Each structure stands twice: as C-alpha cells, then as structure tokens.
C-alpha cells in the first residue's frame, strides 16, 4: 500500500484550504506522502485512485458530507484507518461517526501534537494487519442469507428465485448498504451519495432502476415487494424476518 | 420514557385544557339548572314567593359563565401561542449556535494549527511569510464573523439608520464588485441597466453594501456551476425601482423561497454541507425594510438558479 518512495500515504479531505495545508505541512514534515481533496466526490475519487493508507476526514464538506463519504468507503473497505477531524464536537456526532466505523474522532480546534501521535498510531496499527486476509464488511461473514436468498460477497453471486445470478459491483455495494441499514429507511439521495458517490443533483432514476433489478432477483412478487419496500416521499427500506 | 412524551407535548396539554374547560362549562350549566329546578319545586311545595329567589334569570347566569370561560380560553390560547413561539426561538437559537460556532471554530483551528507548527518547527523565512499570510486571512475571517453579529445587533436596534445618502445605485454595485473582486473570482459578473441612465436613490451606504455582500456572496457560495455567473438587472417600475440579482446557482425549492428569509433558517439542515450562519438573508430583508422596500426570492427549482429581487419604492427618487 505504500507509495513508490516507501512513504505512507495520507489523504486529507477538508474544504478549508488553510487547515488542509497546515495539516499537509505537518504530516509531510513527519515523513508522510500527503494529498488534499477539497470536497466529498474528490475525496472518494482520490481514495479509489491514490489508495491512501489513512484518511483524515472533515464532516462539513461541500457536495457530499463527510459521514456519507465514510459510509461509502466502509462499504468496500472496512480496514482503512479513518480519522474524523471536525468542528462538530457534540457527542451525537462522535457517536454517529463511530457507529459508521470511524477509527478516531478529534474535534477542532485540536492539539497538533495529539493529532500527529494519533495518526502515527493508526498507521502503525494498520501496518500490523496488512498481511492478513481482508475480512468483508459484514460481521456475519462473506455470505448473507434472508428468506431463502443467499448472497455471496466474495464471489459476487446470489442464489435466489431466478437461480444462480452474478451480481455487478454496483449491485453488491447497494446490497451491502441495505443490509448494513436493515430496517432503516434510506432516501434516494443517501443511496446515490453513499452507493455511487454522486451529488444530489444527479437523477435519482438510477437508484430506482437498481431497485427494480434487486426486486427481480430477490422478491417473490416484484410488483408487491416484501423486502425492498418503497416508502412514499422518503425512499427505500430493506427488511426481512430473521 | 419516550412512549409517554406526547403526554407532555404542549399541543396535547392545550387540547386537554380546552376540553376540560368546555366540560366544566357544560357541568356548571347542567348543575345550575338542576339546582334551580330543585329550588323551584321547593318554592312550589312551600308556597313561597318565587320572585324572592329568581331575581336573576337563568340565561344571564349562563351568559356570564360562558363569558368567563371564554376569557379563560383566550388566556390559555395566548399562553399556548407564546409558548410555541418561545420553543421556536429556542430551536432557532440552538441551530444558530451550532452553525455559527462552526464558522468561528474554522479560522481558530487554522490559527492554532499554524501557531503550534511554528512552535514545533523552525521553518524557512519564505514559508513563514506564506503561513503568516494565511493567519492574517484567518484573523480577518474571524473579524468578519464577529462584525456580522454586531451588524445584526445594530440592524435589530433600528433607529441608528437615519442617515440616507443619495447615490447612483448602478455605480454603487459596480464599485462593490470592484472592491470585492477576490470574492467573485471565476465568476462572470454583468450589470444590465434597463433605465440607461444613472439611478439616484437615497440609501444608507453601509447597509446597502451589507445587503450586496449578503446577496451576492450567496450567489457564488451556493453555486455548483462550472461557469458561475451573476447578472444584476436594474428595472425601473411604476412604483419604484427593482434590482434583480440573477445567478445560475443551485436554486431554491419553491416551498423554501419565503422561509429562507427567516432568522437562522438554513436550507437542508439535516445534512448541512455548506457553511453559513443563517443570518445573511434575514439581514438582507431587514435592510430592505429599513429602506421601505422589499426583497423576494424566485427560483425555477433546484439546480435552476435563483433570483433575488430588491424593490425600492418611488419615494425620494432623484432625477440624475
């Protein structure tokens, strides 16, 4: 995961250019390779392309907010250390961030020394487990079963009423998102932001088309869905009897 | 505990007290009639003079009772409305504190970060100068935020804005743009004067500038277009002058065009992505009012740009 120069890579997703540059300066002086992304979509793009070893994330970001960025990353990578650095210090935000899988949370204004030590520690810890096989994002393991349907997140296949089908990457992401939020309504905007990394202005029809596909795979009667239900003026909710 | 929360809800308490009051009125009347019929039969049985006891007619008693209950009802209603207003203000204030502390914390964080860095490392002079430049900008940002609060307090206090100066508004807008060009980088800015002549109006220069700052920075701030643009149109109307600020920004939902002028109101509070204090448009509206004018928002909907129109009355227009 380390760069060509052997340095560890840190991605800073922060919209305030002064803070971002100040962080970059300090992390560079500590020997890290640092990149700055100024908004949510740019952050997600750099995470995919540049493959950082750690992400420093702000919550109040333009276009896609930090918590959605975090959830989007966690759908695919459960292990990447992420540290939230936010002016939101209320415990509800800390709890929210931690429940979405952030590794550490610092509120602004912060102590520089503390920040650098936490970053060092997170990078070191991540290095220990680098060799191990990566686990899926679901605590139950790589296979999820509900109402006679089985989804395998390693082979990207599902056993459902249509028989054995191969799932696309996007379908798998969407399924993971629904499973992680079982019983909780997700708006089309949220699904787009987290599942696709789009901003709200993009057509939400994309989401609807994918839901149609998921229903065709898993619903006994796709016209009267029991698992992927629509909620009027809210979005969709996934749930099933256990 | 949550299941019983509705029990304490003001609307429930309000309805409950109205029902209780109405029930008590019915009971008063019912009992009164019961007692008076009883009394009437006693009078009849003992052959007493009815006029001795029934000087006041029944309907008068009912009327008086109803009026009293009516007064109590109005009282309850007034208390209810005030209570609701207090809660609304409390929520607004909390919202404001949350948003505004963010605005204050960001520059403070940046300042602290660079000061910590300077204590930790001995940076080359050229870099030091660059970062000190950042710090100066942060101090200015802080100052700007503090001034906004002070401005708001002054606007609210009202009476200090009697000094109106007659100036050419077209020129004023042009000058404002010139002085703040760094705020409108990468933004296309055009003035269209449909009158074709300078438009002299009495305005308070400080307030007018504050108005322009709030309206025009919004046009840039809430803009995701690749080529942001602001068009300022001066349109002489029968009743006065309209100045339209048209942008190609993110637009406003139809249902929000009125609400956005409320104090501390912010669009999309649930998942805030843009920074703001929720004061800018409120202040703009107050400023328009001080000038006896009006400011309204129009938009075709989300993503279709928005128009903020300032209408100033004819009163006091001076031919230039």
Say whether B305 sits in a helix, a strand or coil.
coil
What pLDDT sits at residue A52? 93
Of A87, A111, A112, the CB nearest to B106: A87
- Can you tell me the distance from the alpha carbon of B247 to that of B229, in angstroms, rounded to the nearest whole number? 6
- Can you tell me the distance from the alpha carbon of B148 to that of B195, in angstroms, rounded to the nearest whole number? 33
pLDDT tier for residue A137 given thresholds of 50, 70 and 90: very low
A61 touches chain B (CB under 8 A): yes
CB contact under 8 A, A18 and B138: yes
Pick the closest to residue A36 from A14, A3, A19, A53 (CA basis): A14
Residue the block writes with tokens 């230039």:
B320
What pLDDT sits at residue B232? 92
CB neighbourhood size of B75 (10 A) = 10
Q: Are residues A109 and A168 in the same domain?
A: no
Evaluate if residue B270 carries a pLDDT over 50.
no
Evaluate if residue A6 carries a pLDDT over 50.
yes
CB contact under 8 A, B302 and A201: yes
Size of interface A-B (CB pairs under 8 A): 76
What pLDDT sits at residue B275? 53
CB A7 within 8 A of CB A32: yes
Nearest CA in chain B to A85: B109
CB B253 within 8 A of CB B302: yes
Evaluate if residue B245 carries a pLDDT over 90.
yes
Q: Which two tokens stand for residue A169?
A: 């990457």
Residue of B97, B98, B100, B110 to mutate for A, most A C-beta atoms under 10 A: B110
User: Does residue A166 lie in a domain region?
Assistant: yes
Domain that holds residue A63: 9-128
Q: Are residues A21 and A73 in the same domain?
A: yes
The residues pairing with B298 across neighbouring beta strands, listed in sequence order, are: B307
Q: Which two tokens stand for residue B48?
A: 């007493």
User: Does residue A207 lie in a domain region?
Assistant: yes
Average pLDDT over residues A188-204: 71
CB B210 within 8 A of CB B180: no
Q: Is pLDDT larger for residue B153 or for residue A59?
A: A59
Pick the closest to residue B280 from B96, B4, B119, B43 (CA basis): B96
What pLDDT sits at residue B307? 92
CATH of B165-313, one of 3.30.565.10, 3.40.50.1820, 3.20.20.20, 1.10.10.10: 3.30.565.10
CB B297 within 8 A of CB B254: no
Evaluate if residue B159 carries a pLDDT over 70.
no
What pLDDT sits at residue B271? 38
Measured in angstroms, the CA of A120 and the nearest CA of chain B are apart by 17
Evaluate if residue A23 carries a pLDDT over 90.
yes
- Identify all chain B residues contacting A67, using CB atoms and an 8 Å cutoff: 271
Q: Is pLDDT larger for residue B54 or for residue B295?
A: B295
What pLDDT sits at residue B117? 93
Q: Are residues A108 and A212 in the same domain?
A: no
- Identify all chain A residues contacting B302, using CB atoms and an 8 Å cutoff: 201
Final residue belonging to a domain, choices A128, A153, A183? A128
Return the CATH number at A31: 3.40.50.2300
Evaluate if residue B318 carries a pLDDT over 70.
no
CB neighbourhood size of A168 (10 A) = 11
To the nearest whole number, what is the mean pLDDT of chain B? 82
- Identify all chain A residues contacting B274, using CB atoms and an 8 Å cutoff: 62
pLDDT tier for residue A53 given thresholds of 50, 70 and 90: very high
Final residue belonging to a domain, choices A128, A153, A186? A128
Interface of B with A (CB under 8 A): 98, 101-102, 105-110, 112-114, 116-117, 120-121, 131, 134, 137-138, 224, 250, 271-275, 302-303
pLDDT digits (tens, 9 = 90+) for A162-192: 888 888 888 888 888 888 788 888 888 778 8
CB contact under 8 A, A108 and B224: no
Q: Are residues A181 and A223 in the same domain?
A: yes
In CATH, what number does B99-157 get? 1.10.287.130
pLDDT tier for residue B110 given thresholds of 50, 70 and 90: very high
Q: Are residues A123 and A165 in the same domain?
A: no
pLDDT tier for residue B195 given thresholds of 50, 70 and 90: confident
Measured in angstroms, the CA of A73 and the nearest CA of chain B are apart by 18
Average pLDDT over residues B6-34: 83
Beta strands A143-146 and B306-313, pairing class: unpaired
Per-residue b/e over A129-162, b at no fewer than 16 CB within 10 Å?
A: eeeeeeebbbeeeeebebeebebbbeeeebbbee
pLDDT tier for residue A139 given thresholds of 50, 70 and 90: very low
Cis peptide before A109 (omega within 30 of 0): yes
Say whether B316 sits in a helix, a strand or coil.
coil
User: Does residue A136 lie in a domain region?
Assistant: no
Evaluate if residue B116 carries a pLDDT over 90.
yes
Q: Are residues A158 and A188 in the same domain?
A: yes
What pLDDT sits at residue B272? 41
Look at A205-219, B30-44, B210-224, B270-284 and tell me which has the smallest mean pLDDT: B270-284
Q: Are residues A35 and A80 in the same domain?
A: yes
CB contact under 8 A, B106 and A201: no
Final residue belonging to a domain, choices A72, A103, A128? A128
SS3 sequence, chain A?
CCCCCCCCEEEEECCCHHHHHHHHHHHHHCCCEEEEECCHHHHHHHHHHHCCCEEEECCCCCCCCHHHHHHHHHHHCCCCCEEEEECCCCHHHHHHHHHCCCCEEEECCCCHHHHHHHHHHHHHHHHHCCCCCCCCCCCCCCEEEECCEEEECCCCEEEECCEEEECCHHHHHHHHHHHHCCCCCEEHHHHHHHHHCCCCCCCCHHHHHHHHHHHHHHCCCCCCCCCEEEECCCEEEECCCC
Measured in angstroms, the CA of A26 and the nearest CA of chain B are apart by 7
CB neighbourhood size of B119 (10 A) = 10
- Identify all chain B residues contacting A13, using CB atoms and an 8 Å cutoff: none
What pLDDT sits at residue B187? 85
pLDDT tier for residue A123 given thresholds of 50, 70 and 90: very high
The residues pairing with B306 across neighbouring beta strands, listed in sequence order, are: B247, B299
Q: Are residues A161 and A230 in the same domain?
A: yes
User: Does residue A138 lie in a domain region?
Assistant: no
What pLDDT sits at residue B53? 60
Is the pTM here over 0.90, yes or no?
A: no
A62 touches chain B (CB under 8 A): yes
- Can you tell me the distance from the alpha carbon of A113 to that of A133, in angstroms, rounded to the nearest whole number? 33
- Can you tell me the distance from the alpha carbon of A13 to that of A36, in angstroms, rounded to the nearest whole number? 6
- Strand order across the beta sheet in which A54-57 lies: A33-37, A9-13, A54-57, A82-86, A104-107
What is the total residue count of chain A?
Answer: 242
CB A142 within 8 A of CB A153: yes
Q: Where are the alpha helices (DSSP H) in chain B?
A: 5-8, 10-46, 58-120, 125-157, 169-179, 205-221, 280-290
A235 touches chain B (CB under 8 A): no
- Identify all chain A residues contacting B108, using CB atoms and an 8 Å cutoff: 108-109
pLDDT tier for residue B3 given thresholds of 50, 70 and 90: low
- Identify all chain B residues contacting A108, using CB atoms and an 8 Å cutoff: 105-106, 108-109
CB interface of A with B, residues 11-30, below 8 Å: 16, 18-19, 21-23, 25-26, 29
What is the domain count for chain A? 2
What pLDDT sits at residue B184? 82
Evaluate if residue B168 carries a pLDDT over 50.
yes
What pLDDT sits at residue B319? 45
What pLDDT sits at residue B13? 82
User: Does residue A134 lie in a domain region?
Assistant: no
Q: Are residues A157 and A79 in the same domain?
A: no
Pick the closest to residue A19 from B147, B140, B274, B116 (CA basis): B116
CB contact under 8 A, B110 and A68: no
Long-range CB contacts for residues B4-11, cutoff 8 Å, separation at least 24: B10/B80, B10/B83, B10/B84, B10/B87
What pLDDT sits at residue B100? 77
pLDDT tier for residue A203 given thresholds of 50, 70 and 90: low
CB neighbourhood size of B31 (10 A) = 10
Q: Are residues A20 and A122 in the same domain?
A: yes
Residue of B271, B303, B304 to mutate for A, most A C-beta atoms under 10 A: B271
User: Does residue A2 lie in a domain region?
Assistant: no
CB B172 within 8 A of CB B210: no
Measured in angstroms, the CA of B131 and the nearest CA of chain A are apart by 8
CB contact under 8 A, B105 and A109: yes
Of B98, B108, B273, the CB nearest to A109: B108
Of B110, B131, B224, the CB nearest to A16: B110
A112 touches chain B (CB under 8 A): yes
User: Does residue A3 lie in a domain region?
Assistant: no
To the nearest whole number, what is the mean pLDDT of chain A? 83
Measured in angstroms, the CA of A209 and the nearest CA of chain B are apart by 22
CA-CA distances (angstroms) from residue A41 to A70, A169, B294? Answer: 12, 19, 38
Judged on CB neighbours under 10 Å (0-12, 13-18, 19+), A63 is buried
Judged on CB neighbours under 10 Å (0-12, 13-18, 19+), A51 is middle
What pLDDT sits at residue B78? 92
Q: Which two tokens stand for residue B148?
A: 């906004």
Evaluate if residue B266 carries a pLDDT over 70.
no
User: Does residue A135 lie in a domain region?
Assistant: no
Evaluate if residue A152 carries a pLDDT over 50.
yes
What pLDDT sits at residue A20? 94
A224 touches chain B (CB under 8 A): no
Q: Could you give the percent of chain B with pLDDT greater than 70?
A: 88
CB contact under 8 A, A29 and B121: yes
Q: Could you give the percent of chain B with pLDDT greater than 90?
A: 16
Per-residue b/e over B51-64, b at no fewer than 16 CB within 10 Å?
A: eeeeeeeeeeeeee
Evaluate if residue A198 carries a pLDDT over 80.
no
């Amino acid at each position: 995961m380390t760069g060509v120069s052997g340095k560890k890579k840190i991605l800073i997703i922060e919209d305030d250019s002064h803070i971002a540059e100040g962080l970059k300066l300090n992390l560079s002086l500590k020997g890290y390779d640092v990149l700055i992304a100024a908004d949510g979509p740019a952050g997600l793009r750099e995470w995919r392309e540049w493959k950082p070893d750690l992400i420093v994330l702000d919550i109040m970001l333009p276009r896609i907010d930090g918590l959605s960025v975090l959830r989007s990353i966690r759908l695919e990578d459960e292990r990447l250390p992420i540290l939230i650095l936010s002016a939101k210090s209320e415990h509800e935000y800390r709890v929210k961030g931690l429940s979405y899988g952030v590794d550490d949370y610092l509120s602004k204004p912060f102590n520089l020394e503390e920040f650098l030590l936490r970053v060092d520690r997170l990078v070191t810890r991540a290095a220990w487990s680098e060799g191990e096989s990566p686990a899926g994002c679901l605590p139950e393991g790589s296979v999820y079963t509900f109402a006679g349907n089985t989804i395998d997140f390693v082979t990207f296949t599902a056993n459902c009423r249509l028989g054995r089908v191969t799932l696309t990457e996007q379908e798998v992401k969407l399924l993971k998102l629904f499973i992680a939020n079982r019983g909780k309504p997700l708006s089309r905007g949220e699904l787009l932001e987290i599942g696709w990394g789009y901003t709200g202005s993009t057509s939400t029809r994309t989401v609807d088309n994918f839901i149609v596909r998921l229903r065709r795979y898993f619903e006994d009667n796709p016209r009267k869905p029991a698992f992927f239900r629509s909620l009027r003026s809210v979005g969709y909710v996934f749930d099933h009897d256990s | 505990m949550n299941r019983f929360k509705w029990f304490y809800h003001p609307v429930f308490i309000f309805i409950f007290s109205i029902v209780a009051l109405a029930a008590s009125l019915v009971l008063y009347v019912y009992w009164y009639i019961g007692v008076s019929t009883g009394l009437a039969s006693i009078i009849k049985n003992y052959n007493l003079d009815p006029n001795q006891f029934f000087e006041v007619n029944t309907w008068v008693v009912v009327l008086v009772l109803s009026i009293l209950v009516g007064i109590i009802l109005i009282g309850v209603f007034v208390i209810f409305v005030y209570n609701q207003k207090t809660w609304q203000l409390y929520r607004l204030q909390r919202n404001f504190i949350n948003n505004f502390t963010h605005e204050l914390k960001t520059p403070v964080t940046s300042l602290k970060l660079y000061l910590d860095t300077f204590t930790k490392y001995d940076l080359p002079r050229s870099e030091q100068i660059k970062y000190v430049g950042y710090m100066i900008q942060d101090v200015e940002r802080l100052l700007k935020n503090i001034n906004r609060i002070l401005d708001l307090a002054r606007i609210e206090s009202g009476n200090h804005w009697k000094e109106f100066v007659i100036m050419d508004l077209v020129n004023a807008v042009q000058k404002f743009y010139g002085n703040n060009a760094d705020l409108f980088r990468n933004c296309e800015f055009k003035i269209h004067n449909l009158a074709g002549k300078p438009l002299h109006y009495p305005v308070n220069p400080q307030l007018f500038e504050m108005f322009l700052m709030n309206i025009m920075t919004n046009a840039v701030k809430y803009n995701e277009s690749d080529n942001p643009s602001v068009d300022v149109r001066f349109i002489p109307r029968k009743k006065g002058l309209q100045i339209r600020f048209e942008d190609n920004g993110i637009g406003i939902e139809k249902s929000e065009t009125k609400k956005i002028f409320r104090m501390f109101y912010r669009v999309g509070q649930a998942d805030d992505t843009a920074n703001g204090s929720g004061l800018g448009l409120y202040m703009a509206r107050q400023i328009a009012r001080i000038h006896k004018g009006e400011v309204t928002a129009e938009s075709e909907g989300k993503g279709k740009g928005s128009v903020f129109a300032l209408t100033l009355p004819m009163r006091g227009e001076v031919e230039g």
